Amino acid sequence: MKKAKLLTVVMVCLVLLLPGQVWASPLGQAVISAPPIVISPMTVFDPSFKYLDSGSGHLSNMGNGKVDIWGETFATHDVDSVKVQITLQRWTGSSWVDVYSGPLVIYYYDNYAYDSTYVTVPTGYYYRVKSYHEVTYGTTVEFGTRYSGYLLVN
């Protein structure tokens, strides 16, 4: 189990090192204008958290309208439960709307939770992942939401 977690972390780090051109295909046109550039689209968890270490959501354009989305939550050590939920959002031209919400995935007596799925979407739109992260240890519950960068799906 720990080897699988380590492999996942290494794979995510490698994907994040890919050049930006891999994330958005230059072929196809957007149906709407791009979302505004946000200096810091990813939120930060409360720095006073003792058990929720980090969490993130990601997406990758697989082509032909298929998007791979995944999210992960890290606790500082084994806790009672670690949770993650990923939601795919589409830019309408004025706001982000949810187009897919995955189940709340719960790992018990662990320090890591992960979820991944493929979603088929209309092309020509911008998408991002909203991810929810939660850790419970005893009576303490720490949680937060993060947002990935966006990409044009062609």
The answer on pLDDT for 12 being more than 70 is no
As beta bridge partners, residue 144 has 133
Per residue in 43-100, pLDDT (tens digit) is 678 888 999 999 999 999 999 999 999 999 999 999 999 999 999 999 999 999 999 9
Residue 41: pLDDT band with limits 50, 70, 90: low
Distance (Å, whole) CA 82 – CA 98 = 23
pTM given for the model: 0.77
C-alpha distances out from residue 42 to 45, 130, 150, Å: 10, 9, 11
Please state which of the four CATH numbers 3.40.50.2300, 1.10.240.10, 2.60.40.3930, 2.10.109.10 is assigned to the domain occupying 42-153. Answer: 2.60.40.3930
User: Residues 15-29: what's their mean pLDDT?
Assistant: 43
Contact criterion met (CB below 8 Å) for 25 and 61: yes
